[in-house]
Amino acid sequence: MKRKTSSLREEDLSLAGRELRIVEKLAQSIVRKQEVRRVMQRLAEELVRFGFRATVVTELDQRRGGFRILGVAPQTRVLRLVSKVLNIRLDRYVFPFRPQQNDVLRTLVKGRTWIGRDMGEIVRPTLSPRLARTVQKLLGIRSIYNSPLMSEGKIVGSVIVGTDAYSFSQREQSFLKTITHHAALIIHQALLLSENLRKTEQYRLLGTVDRHILEEKQLAKVLSAVVENIQTIIPCDLAGIYLYDPKEKVLVPTVTSKQSRFSRKLAEFTIPWGKGILGSVARTRKAVIVNNAQKDPRSIYPGREKPSLEHLLCVPLITAGDMVGIMNVARFHDEPFMEGDLEIARPFGEKSALAIGNARLLQALGDSEKKFRRLFEESKDAIYISTPQGKLLDINNAAVVLFGFQTREEMLKVDIGRDLYVNPADRKALVRDLEKFGFLKDVELRLKKKDGTRILVYAMITVIRDATGRVTAFQGILRDVTKQKEGERLLHESEEKYRSLVEDSLVGVYILQEGRFVFVNRRFAEMFGYSVTDLVRKRIAPDSLVHPEDRWTAWASLLQRVSGEGKGVQLSFRGMRKNGEMLEIELYGTASVYLGSPAVIGTVLDRTQEHRQQKEISDWRRRYELIIASSGQIVYEYDITTGRILWSGSIERVLGYSLAEIRGDIDEWESLIHPDDRGAALRDLDQAMKTMAPYDVEYRYRRKDGRKSWRSGFAHRS
């Protein structure tokens, strides 16, 4: 009896030692961070050597949604039996993780161990329970221990152990509990290591994309790098980027990863805004995972090219608040996308949006530079950029022409202060002002051309500083005002001459605006007995210069006619001097513009003396005609150049004709002379015209009633 007890004790010690060695190996694997599949395969083999009939160690693959085999023992026999009976390759097969359809899985998810005798309960409904029982029988398994591998409260795998006993002893269960705990730690460590490696690779690839964004100016190459890197870190069959065309309101495929026949079709397939899964993502601006997208009613495809299976991951590309495109990742095999894939894809989407935003900025910058260069080159004003020391860095063609150089290259060689300034000291003063104020506008500079010709320019100059505030360059615009200044000088001289002419004129000059005089010369003021100040500054009304009976005829009529006819007007009216003396005025006026407003400009003549002389002449003429008429004589005036004759005197009394019946020409005068006397009268007239001597002749006239009347004629030159 003592010998039997001693034997059992030795057996227990041996078993405990074997258990300890297995646990130590697992612990060493954790510390050494060995490859998880190799460790799990060794664990499965150790458990079989320990005395169990079969062992399977699995890992829950969240990406593929099921358990994949990490270790199996006895390997050859189990794999052969499963392949023969269940018609699957156990080392490649993924057992679907569907707790809602399997009681065993529901137990494992809760972190509890399942112990039973029917392998069919483990594999249903994916595999045939009957065939599973066949494999169980062939392996000689009577009882099954299925324990979950838990990490942070979540299932990450399982350990399935089969024994030929009808149950597992308490010692075996305790041992397997310890083993599963260490196995879970190893898988957890492997998951952490895999996640770290994946993160490291993700950051490396994102860094590669960043370098492309910084170094590559072509958007297509940057997006190609994004697509290439995304498919490296997220296994997929197709990756691409669609850019949004806001004008056509469509998503245009821009970059695709693989050139299969289907991808080539997609590369020509534009997607309308809001249509299809991609169009819906563009509209909602939300990233999505759509597994089994071929069944989604939103899906659209080119022609009849519909895949039998499609999983999609779509990320909107948003920059500066604008939706600019969609990043699309697709799988055409049974490996659905997980949330982790989406988290990986988001940063790449952000990088893509950043690249698109940068490309737009670069394009806008390029367009701006082109516009600036076009304005720079086509400007009529001279534009330059120079160093503070006086070295030209850039100039436009107008500057070359302004300074009389042949080429741009020739002018870039000059020293500004020495070669372009009349006085080089002027530039030194200009530089001091620029450094002090940073900007100068409408500065008048005295410069010179290549041939020494002096020019006058207006300059607007800006200081360019670096990040430290140091002045690095000057940028300026020069406008040649030489001719303008010369024109202003000539205009000033002309204005002075005109002003002198107007002020000293013997004719009155006025400018009438808004019903008052805004300018009169001295002669105008003297004419009406006022001073210039009285008429302009004291605003003497124009009507006060007109006789009350003629006021409507004068200024009001002038303003009305000028504004209506738009041309010069001449008026005559009676004026009134300040002392009440009446004047005879002749006024000229025309519409014009004075100081930017409509005005009437004109002259005024004092015709008072002329009117008096005319009156005196008229009075004397009337007296003369009365004397002639009372003497019974005829007086006529013969205009040699026109042949006209002006009759006066007692015409009707002498000839019997009224004045209205006389035509008044030389032919009529000849017809009135008696035929016998006509020849002598005409000869005497011709002789008098040739010699310009007095004409004295006697001849007979023929009266209207036919009677003859003797008359003596006397004429002299006038």
The per-residue DSSP string of 391-424 comes to BEEEE-HHHHHHTT-S-HHHHTTSBIIIIIBSSH
- How crowded is the C-beta side of 197, counted as CA atoms within 13 Å? 6
159: left (phi over 0), alpha (psi -120 to 50) or beta: beta
Q: Is the model's pLDDT at 13 over the cut of 60?
A: no
- pLDDT category of residue 705 using cuts at 50, 70 and 90: confident
Which among 392, 391, 381, 487 is positioned nearest to 442, based on CA atoms?
381
Lowest mean pLDDT among 267-281, 287-301, 341-355: 341-355
Displacement of CA 609 from its chain's centroid (Å): 74
* Window from 3-12, 207-216, 522-531 with minimum mean pLDDT: 3-12
Task: Give residue 10's pLDDT band: very low, low, confident or very high (50, 70, 90).
Answer: very low
Helices (H), 638-699: 651-655, 666-672, 675-691
Query: For residue 116, what are the β-bridge partners?
Result: 144
Q: Please state which of the ranges 5-9, 572-576, 619-623 shows the lowest mean pLDDT.
A: 5-9
Residue 607 three-state SS: coil
Average pLDDT of the segment spanning 135-162: 90
Using CA atoms, how far apart are residues 110 and 103, in angstroms rounded to an integer?
Answer: 11
Distance CA 277, CA 288 (A): 9
When mean pLDDT is compared across 155-169, 294-308, 504-518, 615-629, the lowest value belongs to 615-629
Residue 675, Cα to own-chain centre: how many angstroms? 102
Higher pLDDT, 328 or 229: 328
Distance between CA atoms of 260 and 140, rounded to whole angstroms?
Answer: 50
Res 393 pLDDT > 80: yes
Mean pLDDT of 527-540: 87
Whether residue 145 has pLDDT greater than 90: yes
Q: What is the pLDDT of residue 6?
A: 43
Please compute the mean of the pLDDT values over residues 360-388 and round it to a whole number: 81
Strand, coil or helix: 499: helix
CA–CA separation, 617 vs 611, rounded Å? 10
Per-position b or e across 146-171, b if 16+ CB within 10 A of its CB: bbbbbbeeebbbbbbbbbeeeebeee
Least confident of 284-288, 480-484, 610-614: 610-614
Give the pLDDT band (50/70/90) at residue 20.
Answer: low
Q: Does residue 694 carry a pLDDT above 80?
A: no
Q: What is the mean pLDDT of residues 207-212?
A: 67
Three-state secondary structure of 570-598: EEEEEEECCCCCEEEEEEEEEEEEECCEE
Least confident of 34-38, 41-45, 46-50: 34-38
**How far is the C-alpha of 191 from the C-alpha of 183, rounded, in Å?**
12
In angstroms, how far is CA 92 from the centroid of its own chain? 59
**The token pair that represents 270 in the structure block:** 């534009």
Contact at 8 Å (CB) between 573 and 583?
A: no
Backbone dihedral angles phi then psi of residue 623, each to the nearest 5 degrees: -60, -45
Instruction: Assess whether pLDDT exceeds 80 at residue 270.
Output: yes
Between vectors from CA 298 to CA 292 and to CA 304, what angle results, nearest 5°? Answer: 80
Residue 385's pLDDT is what?
Answer: 92
Distance in angstroms (rounded) separating the CA atoms of residues 65 and 590: 100
Highest-confidence segment of 198-202, 340-344, 645-649, 705-709:
340-344
Say if pTM beats, i.e. exceeds, 0.95: no
**Residue 24 pLDDT grade (very low, low, confident, very high; cuts 50, 70, 90):** low
What's the confidence (pLDDT) of residue 9? Answer: 44
- Whether residue 142 is predicted with pLDDT greater than 80 in this model: the reply is yes
Report the C-alpha gap between 543 and 79 in whole angstroms.
128
Query: What average pLDDT does the chain have?
Result: 81
pLDDT at 387: 92
Query: What confidence tens digit (pLDDT) does each residue in 536-594 have?
Result: 888 788 888 888 888 766 666 666 666 555 567 788 888 889 898 988 888 888 888 88
pLDDT tens track for 233-254: 778 888 888 999 989 899 988 8
Identity of the highest mean pLDDT range in 267-276, 331-340, 426-435: 426-435
